Amino acid sequence: MSNEIFKVGFSTNDGAILEGHFGHCKKFALYTIEKGKAVNKEIIDAPEHTHGAFPKFMIEQKVNVVITGGMGQKAMDTLKAGKIEVILGASGKIEDILKAYLEGNLVSDGAVCAHEHHEHHGEHNCKH
């Protein structure tokens, strides 16, 4: 991983704090990682929220890893079919989560959401 160039995507509403549910975000924070360090950060608006739009958007953005709090099974399946690694259970500041990920200290809790959530806070915890 150290010499690899890849892109990590985070669900967010403000560009700084992770949005707990992938399908509820207004924006995505995309980080380009080169030699184990973030070399570029983009905050881009999420597409219109239609069925399957967000996973397809991540594939179009050439994201390699998606880190979020939780997501539905269909979104997870679409991302995995697009060869995107999915890490669930994260929460907090995106910069802190990215640091933990790059240090190898971020572990997915694998929590897939089985139904629609309107409030998702506190259900997922980042494991360090």
Structural domains in the chain?
A: 5-83+95-113 (3.30.420.130)
Burial class (CB in 10 A: 0-12, 13-18, 19+), 66: buried
Tokens of 79: 């991302």
Nearest to 11 by CA among 46, 38, 39: 46
pTM of the model: 0.85
Centre a 10 Å sphere on the Cβ of residue 118 and count the other Cβ atoms it contains: 6
- From first to last of the 128 residues of the chain, give the pLDDT tens digit: 456 899 999 999 999 999 999 999 999 999 999 999 999 999 999 999 888 999 999 999 999 999 999 999 999 999 999 999 999 999 999 999 999 999 999 988 876 766 444 333 333 433 33
Tell me the Cα Rg of the chain. Answer: 13
